[in-house]
Amino acid sequence: MKSTQRDVRASLRKVALGGEKADLVIKNGTWINVMTKELQDNDFIAIKDGKIAYIGASDQCVGPQTKVVDAKGKYISPGLMDGHMHVESTMLSVTEFAKAALMKGTTSVFMDPHEIANVLGVNGVRLMHEEGKGLPLKVYTTYPSCVPATDGLEDAGASLTVEDIEAGLKWDGVVGLGEVMNFPGVVYNDPKMIGEIEATIEERKAVTGHFPDGTNEMLQAYIASGVDSCHETVTREQGLEKARLGMHIMIREGSAWHDVKEVIKIVTEDGIDPTNVTLVTDDVYPQTLVEKGQLNHVVRRAIEEGVDPVVAIQMATINVARYYHMDKEMGSITPGKKADITIFDDLEELEPSTVVTDGTIVVDNQALIYDFPTYIYPDYAKNTVKLKRSAVPENFLFKKTVDKSVDINGIKVMENSARTEKMSATLQVKNGIIQSDLDQDIIQIACMDRHHQSGQVSLGFVQGFQLQSGAVASTVAHDSHNLLVMGTNADDMAFAANKLADSGGGMIVVDQGKVLAHVPMPIAGLMSDKPLEVVVKQVEQLEKAWKQLGSPIHAPFMTFSLIALPVIPEVRMSNRGLVDVTNFELINVLR
């Protein structure tokens, strides 16, 4: 007969009093007590039925069947909790990501699957949500709020209604509303956005936010609407402003967006109470997972910037649990809480030797020992690149009837930043075609509808990648995930687009009609169906190929994937054209 939670609590009492023996005991380590911000030396942490039963010096909880882990000289931490991230950005399935995250000490993630929602709608969200439920990593979902991210500026593969979100909020394991990116819609009373937020508040769940820029009055209206967190804070001043208004500050350190160094100053220099601050990854690609880590890397970065190690761990455990109203269940190593535990060898490297979830050892001596289930995505999730016809070079020629120079508006990207700047330049027209200008580092970019077979292709110009030859393409093109193509010549752009479409999506680099690197991502054109180690090798080749084309910037393919995201300032390229994000309107490429 299956034990009820009442039965479990009865067993915990008995273990604490010595009447029953523990299933697992961790002894001799230094306990990181995130409730009191203390490092404590305790001989025994006893676990029964997946929960903490006893912490103390007595060995009365150890019996013949008790498994004992000796953590002498090590630090016993609550399992790390990533309060905001997108699994799709790892290029991995939820299962493969879970393996990598657990190896780095993360035991819970709060994913926002709005990437797959923009391709497959409710069905896509359900697929990832259901895959997560069968794993030792706790995968909680914040239900996507902005699909598409904006109205009238782009065309996604699907859309979600208030009714969809009301239903999704009732799923087991859905703990809040995904990042509310359409902040102007909230501020100016858009019925859809307000309806979603009110539905979430009615369910007493978190309303996660996304407020990259705007006036103080807009920010206060946004917060007053019920949005209570933000991970898009990039300056100390923004952090202080939001924190003082009661907003929960999620400080991000992903593969391409490095915000800890600046924003953590609100704690290290301004001295604010860090209780309402958490550390998150947002977007991390495979190389970062393997070489630097998952959330443990963000905690390490905070410590490097001067945060007390225990405070940094609080920001990745109990603070997260409190934000999602789950601190009565998890986030600390205290009696009655879920036994999610990470044992670190030291508080500098933060590399885990042992990881426990629900009282089960899943990582032992830095090796996975858990038998993961296999999850198969249906065929409809792997047939999502739907072009009206194959691309031809003419699709990528920006035509102008008069042969003379023209003034253009374009996009300037910034290394290690999710933001862009509006760029203006003068380009030459030759044989009726506006020419790229490698001397100015200005090349052609295009966004092709890959959802509705409309044949729609928007054209523009971008600066900052420093490509000298070839072309690149990606179906990872936040957030509508159309087919994004960029290059120095139309022939390679067409070749890249067709090769990528034929493979079901992903990322590709080509030069002179040859494929230099290709990361196939057949799951919604966003995720690979291959193991982590395979994807890591493919992405390594992708990085090399970008450099071979001349781009020296860090993680250029991640910066490229955000070119089409019309909710982060300043200018973007959607399938409908060039978008001025500051004013939320389409603007002309030709000035």
pLDDT tens by residue, 557-580:
989 999 998 888 899 999 999 999
Q: What is the pLDDT of residue 567?
A: 83
Distance separating alpha carbons of residues 439 and 426, to the nearest angstrom: 12
Taking residues 290-315, what's their average pLDDT? 97
Taking residues 395-399, what's their average pLDDT? 95
Domain boundary among 17, 41, 74: 74
Residue 232 has pLDDT above 70, yes or no: yes
What pTM was estimated for this model as a whole? 0.93
Q: What is the pLDDT of residue 2?
A: 63
- Regarding whether 133 and 52 lie in a shared domain, the answer is no
- Regarding whether 493 and 353 lie in a shared domain, the answer is no
Taking residues 237-255, what's their average pLDDT? 97
| List of residues 6+ apart from 497 with CB closer than 8 A | 387, 391, 395, 448, 473, 483, 485
Structure tokens at 116: 């797959």
Residue range 529-567, pLDDT digits in tens: 999 999 999 999 999 999 999 999 988 998 999 999 888
Structure tokens at 491: 């022939």
Strands 30-33, 75-78: pairing is: parallel
Taking residues 502-514, what's their average pLDDT? 97
- Regarding whether 178 and 105 lie in a shared domain, the answer is yes
Share of the chain residues as helix, strand and coil, in percent rounded to the nearest 5 = 30, 30, 45
Residue 323 has pLDDT above 70, yes or no: yes
* More confident call, 584 vs 501: 501
Residue range 39-81, pLDDT digits in tens: 999 789 999 999 999 999 888 999 999 999 999 999 999 999 9
- Regarding whether 289 and 344 lie in a shared domain, the answer is yes
Residue with tokens 């443990």: 296
- Regarding whether 384 and 360 lie in a shared domain, the answer is no
Q: What is the pLDDT of residue 435?
A: 96
Taking residues 407-414, what's their average pLDDT? 96
- Regarding whether 573 and 458 lie in a shared domain, the answer is yes
Q: Give percent above pLDDT 70 in the chain.
A: 100
Average pLDDT, the chain: 95
Taking residues 112-131, what's their average pLDDT? 97
Domain boundary among 53, 74, 95: 74
Query: 279 pairs with which residues across the strands?
Result: 251
Q: What is the largest CA-CA distance in the chain?
A: 90
- Regarding whether 440 and 359 lie in a shared domain, the answer is no
For 14, half-sphere exposure in the C-beta direction (CA atoms, 13 angstrom radius) is 13
- Regarding whether 65 and 85 lie in a shared domain, the answer is no
Distance separating alpha carbons of residues 562 and 420, to the nearest angstrom: 9
**How close are the terminal C-alpha atoms of the chain, in Å?**
73
Distance separating alpha carbons of residues 576 and 591, to the nearest angstrom: 17
Fill in the amino acid letter for 573.
M
Domain boundary among 74, 89, 110: 74
Residue 424 has pLDDT above 70, yes or no: yes
How is 522-563 classified by DSSP, letter by letter?
Answer: TBTTTB-SS-HHHHHHHHHHHHHHHHHTT--SSSHHHHHHTT
Distance separating alpha carbons of residues 279 and 249, to the nearest angstrom: 8
- Regarding whether 260 and 205 lie in a shared domain, the answer is yes
Residue with tokens 């769940």: 205
CATH number of the structural domain spanning residue 39: 2.30.40.10
- Regarding whether 68 and 34 lie in a shared domain, the answer is yes
CATH number of the structural domain spanning residue 223: 3.20.20.140
- Regarding whether 171 and 84 lie in a shared domain, the answer is yes
Q: How many residues does the chain have?
A: 591
Structure tokens at 363: 């990582």
Distance separating alpha carbons of residues 357 and 173, to the nearest angstrom: 16
Q: Which structural domain, as residue segments, surrounds residue 384? A: 380-587
In the structure, what pLDDT confidence band is assigned to residue 358 with cuts at 50, 70 and 90?
A: very high
- Regarding whether 299 and 157 lie in a shared domain, the answer is yes
Residue range 85-103, pLDDT digits in tens: 999 999 999 999 999 999 9
Taking residues 511-540, what's their average pLDDT? 97
122 three-class SS: helix
Number of domains in the chain: 3
Residue 1 has pLDDT above 60, yes or no: no
Residue 288 has pLDDT above 70, yes or no: yes
